Structure 1
């Protein structure tokens, strides 16, 4: 890694404001000379629909529309060049200074302590020119503190290293020395990335989203026509060969298997594009992830920003003897949309995941937690909602189709079996530094967080809970993924839930709040 550009002379900080003496001349570093091209590409993406309308209208015989289209593109080029010539950045003391604009000038002073995540992104065009887009993100902002399109790659890496060394003074070791050596934590070879593609459902998500988009924008009729035509040809070909019921069934199963194989192949391709060369490294108290095949994506964040952890193990994970480790980080909403440093281990062996947690949380004693199971009688609480839904659907099918609709009741024994297995796997653990919850059987997960990171404690009781004397303890953390499993302990006896609540509340009251 190269060193950072020479910093500007230090300045003293005013007690309640930016560094004293900051002026427009304090930012003297420019963007890359080709940055205007990348700004232009981004702007064209934003105005692509109006430009297409202008070009299509011009092809209908009015040359004036084509001329206006060229004028629009020329205006975007001028705006991109203007941004390049008026954008400056530099380092002053413990802050980053950014100046932009000429007629309407803007001067931003961003303290290093405010920067919680540094993201470097390279698409294929970035890699051709040896540049990168840099985003500096804070914890609570609606958008990044700064976006630099684009910097030369070595300058981008130098800026990331500078932020890593100078942000969060509290991350420094007790001796005050700044250590920037890279500590390798996890690397995924190509074989592991292929396993990740086979385990994940990324291909199915893309297919479902594509089909939904086709129907949304009027392409559903085309899909239906092609599907109907294909079915007719297949049925006609099968009829010419005098196929019976068994041949039809075998053909349908074979077609289904081929489609599933293609979807899994798509998942593997997507995993390779996204996670090829996945590398997790530690730099002191900061973590850095780098990944990607055609485009490279690199982001770093302080370990202190990690709010909660999730270990996931689906059926396919167990088939390949793997797990996934994700984290919730308190970053800006924009960074959450970009999934900033979510996957610490997209796929790894259970031992590797446990070792990673122990290395990052050395005082939590993750592998030595005392797990306390819930009463096995709670299985019917898990079974009840599904049973009610199944009963309601069965009643509707019986009214519509008669006795054949009752076949759906055969689902109830399997549902009860799963509920019993789920109840046996449910457990929680409370240590001196960590609180953890385990749930699931068919697909299971472990959700845990440091006690210091808990933002709120809440006891919840439904009418059924009041009748049965049970309570759910909710443990809220910052940066939680709305689509992920919640951190909660369900179906606890009321006295036990309140005792846990009081213990956690007392522990939080005695500890200083850490950020």
Structure 2
């Protein structure tokens, strides 16, 4: 039974059963421990459970329990390693694994859309990688080989590309749109390489600062208790401003600066050395400071490309592209697993979009939806902010506030609602550029999705009683990666766009 690829081996040897590298036992232990620590660290730090457990049990008993757990983990890892094997049967990848329950997974090469290679820092001394592959079903169908050599991972990728029937086919492209991958050597000029300045700006302009703030929120209470105990012993008057109106803004600036620094470090961790290469029918990105990863985007499987900018990113003139494939549902929460091209200027984003969508050009300016959508948004935001303000003021209901205070509160709610409604209405726009549909949405930050119209799966035209009175309608467009919505279009315009979309779908199916 074959183990790992030796020099001189060929991809045809993959038809025999293969095992993970023996070093995978150690890697499984490390990855499992890292995952467990990452999942439970906020709880442990927030409740002080580790110190309480240490004081109650003692060092000796705790060390003995840790040794027993380590031995059990080693035993489980050995059993998992012995039961894990994989091979190719024609164009089908077969993976067998399991401990108490033996499971077998089969994946046809023609259904593969995403291949990724990860090499965390603890894998580099062993010269191993973590290889992942997904089908059209998306992340739920992911198969992972946790610990194989890089040459074996590359052989697996070549075997999948050789038998998927898509290499050079260009299902959604014009003939000759792709460059021959053999003409592109790894030493050629990359399609895009990120700079240090672009990494820093992307860290500031991305949503990482909010994610980091949420991750650090469990540490607020322990820090508050520590400050409560230490502050009486410190001479704060010597280094803090005497004025409260100066100290509070300085504290806010310090917190924001710390979060911004952590966001830049997170971007550096993830996107250091980012390189995007054009390999004909696919785009390959390599990035990561300690956890080096390689992702391949099959252009024939590409469904939607989004140009995303946060509010600060628009000020800094930076954004990023998010490429969605089959089954890759949209949303910010799962964005870290998307094919992302970070730190782009608007010009760079347009050039890359033209490479991803062959022949795409933003010819027509975006047009906004009907102005009645702004009034609907005003009512929605006013209702929501009014409910929130009421819940906040419930504890102060017993106080006899003057009428001017209540009037000012109502004015603030209406003013904020009007501002949000105006920004959201201005951001909601669309345009038809040849065979492509472009849809923009957002408030301060904006996301613009571009996709070929023949990628549409289902279309529905919806009208409420209020919309019928106003002569407007909403289009709901279902794609393989999720939903795109165009609210409050003029009814005649909505029906004309729906007819155009259906015609392009039928023409694409006939072709």
Question: Which bracket does the TM-score occupy, shorter chain normalised?
Answer: 0.7 to 0.9
Query: Equivalent residue for 2:476?
Result: 474
CA contact (8 A) 1:165 1:178 kept: no
Query: Equivalent residue for 1:252?
Result: 248
Match of residue 133, structure 1, among 122, 130, 133: 130
Q: 1:323 to 1:143 in 2, by over 3 A?
A: closer
Aligned equivalents of 2:425, 2:116: Cα separation in 1: 41
1:8 matches 2:8 = no
Aligned equivalents of 2:161, 2:97: Cα separation in 1: 25
Aligned equivalents of 2:456, 2:194: Cα separation in 1: 31
Query: Equivalent residue for 2:150?
Result: 153
1:348 positional shift: 0.4
1:184 matches 2:178 = no
Q: 1:508 to 1:72 in 2, by over 3 A?
A: same
Q: Secondary structure at the match of 1:510?
A: helix
* 1:255-274 superposed matches below 5 A: 255-274=251-270
Aligned equivalents of 1:198, 1:156: Cα separation in 2: 35
1:358 positional shift: 0.8
Q: Secondary structure at the match of 2:290?
A: coil
Match of residue 41, structure 1, among 12, 22, 30: 30
* 1:39-438 superposed matches below 5 A: 39-44=28-33, 60=57, 70-85=67-82, 87-98=84-95, 109-140=106-137, 143-144=140-141, 146-169=143-166, 171-172=168-169, 179-180=181-182, 181=184, 184-211=190-217, 213=218, 220=221, 222-226=222-226, 228=228, 237=236, 243=242, 247-331=243-327, 339=335, 342-363=338-359, 365-369=360-364, 371-376=366-371, 378-391=373-386, 397=393, 401-402=401-402, 403-408=404-409, 409-410=411-412, 412-413=414-415, 415-417=417-419, 419-420=421-422, 422-438=424-440
Q: Secondary structure at the match of 1:473?
A: strand
Aligned equivalents of 1:368, 1:254: Cα separation in 2: 47
Aligned equivalents of 2:492, 2:363: Cα separation in 1: 26
Match of residue 504, structure 1, among 480, 501, 504: 501
Matched residues, number: 478
Aligned equivalents of 2:291, 2:406: Cα separation in 1: 52
Aligned equivalents of 2:390, 2:84: Cα separation in 1: 67
Aligned equivalents of 1:395, 1:162: Cα separation in 2: 62
CA contact (8 A) 1:179 1:283 kept: yes
Return 373-382 or 251-260, whichever deviates more.
373-382
Aligned equivalents of 1:64, 1:238: Cα separation in 2: 46
Aligned equivalents of 2:381, 2:424: Cα separation in 1: 14
Aligned equivalents of 2:287, 2:453: Cα separation in 1: 31
Q: 1:331 to 1:5 in 2, by over 3 A?
A: farther
CA contact (8 A) 1:455 1:478 kept: yes
Q: 1:166 to 1:339 in 2, by over 3 A?
A: farther
Q: 1:353 to 1:108 in 2, by over 3 A?
A: same
After superposition, give the CA deviation of every residue in 1:421-480 in whole Å (9 maximum; x if it has no partner). 554454321244211122346323312321122122122334432342321111121223
Aligned equivalents of 1:261, 1:454: Cα separation in 2: 44
After superposition, give the CA deviation of every residue in 1:102-132 in whole Å (9 maximum; x if it has no partner). 9997665533213221121122101232211
Aligned equivalents of 1:240, 1:291: Cα separation in 2: 43
Unaligned 5+ residue runs, structure 1?
Answer: 11-25, 481-485
Q: Secondary structure at the match of 1:32?
A: coil
Q: Secondary structure at the match of 1:277?
A: coil
Return 349-358 or 108-117, whichever deviates more.
108-117
* 1:423-462 superposed matches below 5 A: 423-440=425-442, 442-462=444-464
**RMSD of aligned C-alpha atoms?**
4.1
TM-score, normalization: structure 2? 0.79
Query: Equivalent residue for 2:43?
Result: none
